[in-house]
């Protein structure tokens, strides 16, 4: 008799095994694709204490703290210093403000590990000078020019536009490291002939004071469009008439300016959730209208020397994901990773489990069908009217099949098919035995007749 069992664990394992392996592989791939939890701390390289970059970073710090993320604001010498820290893997800096034009020409391909989260503000170049009206910067050749300190964005931009006008360090033009109020005071007392001011050094009070000083003029970039074509990171903006002092109509006419943008630059490995948080903070800090920009103009995905990150592009197109819009930051981060893990379970494992009963039935029945195949083969051989010895060999094969069947482990659910199989084995044996007996009788009668 067969050893009946409640279930055939071997057949179940063979049926379930491939599905389990495929599901495990899918889950493994999903785990590899899951972003780790976002770090709770970020380091931002900003600027000198009290500078606009530093003050903006302090606002970022408060906004990120609302979401449980600590932003460490690091002091720096400005845009160039920020860029150098971001490029140095030994320096623990994740993000920083970088003014456009800080990269040397032809080095853009060296910034593959850095991405832009978008431009956050204009940084216009304001040039004040003494003497007769000028229409081109090349007319400053041979004069004393204040172009700010080493490492500053102002100096980098001033050197770039002066070089385009044939003025370079080492020539007969004196380039002095004065900035801000020091440059304004030197221009006022006649110690220098022109001052290049941007960012913190070009604040409205300083500019208004220089406007009102007799003999000092504000340079109008009449070639602004040409500068924007020569330097792709520059934008043309206009300072409206009277914007600094409506009552005194300062400036007395619109003035054309050129301006790079300050960008929020990050290392390429920045977590997507933190990328979204930083852009959200940028919208809150830089999105308001001022003298040079309209409300909502920044942050903006303006690509210059650094390519816009994929996460930033996705944010600018569709905003934050549903989870981050509806759930607290850390809960949304956890749910986001759990959903990625559930995908292979829902797509692979659950449908696969529905196939297991069918595969299990096929495995059990295939053993029964294999026996039937052997029986059919024996019957076909028996129909060829074999010799007595061959018929006896067929009967032995049937006995062997029956012995195999009696040793099978068979689930109780298939007991009916098992007994039907045994009946069919007996039926084949009976036919062979009857045929064998008939052949022996015929052989005996033939012997008697011969005698």
Whether residue 238 is contained in a domain is answered as yes
Q: Can you give the pLDDT at residue 107?
A: 46
**Do the domain assignments include residue 398?**
yes
Beta bridge partners of 129: 194, 217
Q: Is 346 a member of any domain?
A: no
Same domain, 427 and 440: yes
Give pLDDT, residue 102.
83
Tens-place pLDDT, residues 35-84 = 667 888 999 999 889 888 999 999 999 999 998 899 999 999 888 899 99
One domain, residues 252 and 136: yes
Domain that holds residue 142: 124-259
In a domain? residue 339: no
Q: For residue 76, give both structure tokens.
A: 């720096």
Same domain, 109 and 147: no
Taking residues 245-264, report their average pLDDT: 89
What is the total count of domains within the chain? 3
Instruction: Decide which of 237, 259, 281 is a domain's last residue.
Output: 259
Say whether both 150 and 178 belong to one domain: yes
The residues, ordered by sequence, that sit 6+ positions from 337 with a Cβ below 8 Å of its Cβ are 34, 35, 37
Q: Which residue has the higher pLDDT, 105 or 340?
A: 340
Q: Is residue 336 part of a domain?
A: no
pLDDT (average), residues 427-451: 68
**CA dihedral in degrees (207, 212, 214, 215; nearest 10)?**
30
Residue whose token pair is 């009696």? 406
Does 253 have pLDDT greater than 50?
A: yes
pLDDT of residue 387: 78
Whether the CB-CB separation of 88 and 45 falls below 8 Å is answered with no
Phi then psi dihedrals of residue 392, to 5 deg = -65, -40
- Using 50, 70 and 90 to split pLDDT, how confident is the model at 3? low
Q: Are 41 and 69 in contact (CB under 8 A)?
A: yes
pLDDT at 69: 92
Q: Decide if pLDDT at 442 tops 90.
A: no
331 inside domain: no
- CA–CA distances in Å: residue 300 to residues 121, 187, 308: 9, 36, 10
Model confidence at 228, pLDDT cuts 50, 70, 90, reads very high
Over range 335-345, report the average pLDDT.
67
CATH number at residue 199: 3.40.190.10
292 lies in the same domain as 406: no
Same domain, 222 and 154: yes
Do residues 246 and 285 both lie within one domain? no
Dump the DSSP string for 318-346: H-S-HHHHHS-HHHHHHHHHHHHHHHHII
| pLDDT exceeds cutoff 70 at 446 | no
- Rounded Cα–Cα distance for residues 296 and 316 (Å): 12
In this structure, the answer to whether residues 271 and 372 fall within a common structural domain is no
Residue 154 in domain: yes
Question: What pLDDT score was predicted for residue 74?
Answer: 95
Q: Are 74 and 41 in contact (CB under 8 A)?
A: no
Q: Which residue among 230, 259, 288 closes a domain?
A: 259
Residues 247 and 289 in one domain: no
Of 76, 124, 106, give the one whose Cα is nearest residue 305.
Answer: 106
The pLDDT-based confidence of 106 (bands split at 50, 70, 90) is: very low
Can you tell me the mean pLDDT for 118-147? 94
Is residue 176 located within the same domain as residue 114? no
Residue 100's CB is within 10 A of a number of other CB atoms, namely 27
Is the pLDDT confidence value at 141 over 60? yes
Distance, in Å, from the CA atom of 218 to the CA atom of 253, rounded to the nearest integer, reads: 11
pLDDT score of 139: 96
pLDDT interval class at 439 (50, 70, 90): low
Q: Which of 216, 244, 259 is the last residue of a domain?
A: 259
Q: Is there a contact between 408 and 421 (Cβ–Cβ < 8 Å)? A: no
Q: Looking at residue 430, what is its pLDDT?
A: 84
302 and 246 within one domain? no
Say which residue, 4 or 306, is predicted with more confidence.
306
C-alpha angle 211/218/227, rounded to 5°? 155
Asked if 250 and 293 sit in the same domain, the reply is: no
- How high does pLDDT run on average in the chain? 84
CA dihedral sign of residues 310, 316, 322, 326:
positive
Which stretch, 121-125, 408-412, 428-432, has highest mean pLDDT? Answer: 121-125
CA distances 451 to 114, 439, 442, 446, Å, are: 111, 19, 14, 9
DSSP labels, 30-54: HHHHSPPPPPSEEEEE--STTSHHH
Residue 140 lies in a domain: yes
């Amino acid at each position: 008799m067969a050893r009946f069992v409640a279930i055939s664990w071997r057949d179940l394992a063979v049926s379930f095994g491939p599905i389990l392996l495929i599901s495990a592989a899918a889950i493994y791939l999903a785990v590899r694709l899951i972003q780790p939890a976002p770090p709770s701390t970020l380091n931002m390289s900003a600027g000198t204490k009290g500078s606009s970059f530093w003050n903006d970073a302090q606002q970022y710090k408060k906004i990120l703290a609302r979401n449980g993320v600590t932003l460490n604001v690091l002091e720096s010498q400005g845009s160039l210093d920020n860029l150098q820290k971001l490029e140095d893997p030994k320096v623990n800096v994740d993000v920083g403000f970088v003014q456009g034009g800080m990269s040397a020409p032809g080095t853009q391909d060296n910034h593959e590990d850095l991405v832009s989260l978008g431009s956050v503000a204009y940084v216009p170049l304001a040039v004040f000078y003494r003497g007769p009206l000028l229409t081109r910067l090349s007319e400053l050749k041979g004069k004393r020019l204040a172009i700010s300190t080493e490492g500053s964005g102002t100096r980098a931009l001033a050197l770039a536009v002066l070089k385009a006008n044939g003025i370079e360090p080492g020539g007969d033009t004196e380039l002095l490291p004065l900035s801000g109020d020091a440059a304004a005071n030197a221009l006022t007392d006649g110690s220098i002939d022109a001052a290049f001011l941007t960012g913190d050094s070009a604040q409205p009070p300083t500019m208004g004071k220089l406007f009102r000083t007799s003999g000092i003029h504000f340079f109008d970039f009449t070639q602004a469009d040409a500068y924007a074509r020569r330097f792709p990171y520059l934008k043309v903006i206009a300072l409206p008439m009277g914007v600094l002092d409506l009552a005194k109509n300062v400036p007395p006419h619109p003035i054309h300016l050129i301006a790079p943008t300050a960008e929020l630059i990050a290392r390429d490995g920045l977590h997507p959730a933190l990328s979204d948080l930083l852009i959200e903070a940028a919208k809150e800090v830089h999105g308001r209208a001022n003298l040079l920009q309209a409300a909502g103009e920044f942050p903006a995905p303006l690509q210059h020397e650094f390519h816009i990150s994929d996460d930033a592009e996705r944010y600018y197109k569709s905003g934050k994901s549903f989870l981050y819009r509806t759930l607290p930051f850390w809960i949304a981060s956890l749910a986001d990773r759990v959903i990625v893990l559930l995908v292979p379970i829902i797509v692979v494992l659950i449908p696969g489990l529905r196939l297991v009963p069918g595969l299990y039935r096929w495995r059990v029945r295939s053993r029964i069908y294999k026996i039937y195949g052997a029986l059919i083969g024996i019957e076909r051989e028996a129909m060829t009217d074999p010799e007595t010895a061959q018929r006896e060999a067929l009967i032995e094969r049937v006995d062997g099949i029956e012995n195999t069947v009696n040793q099978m482990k068979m689930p109780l659910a298939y007991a009916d098919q098992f007994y039907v199989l045994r009946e069919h084995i007996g039926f084949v044996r009976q036919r062979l035995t009857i045929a064998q007996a008939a052949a022996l009788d015929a052989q005996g009668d033939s012997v008697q007749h011969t005698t």
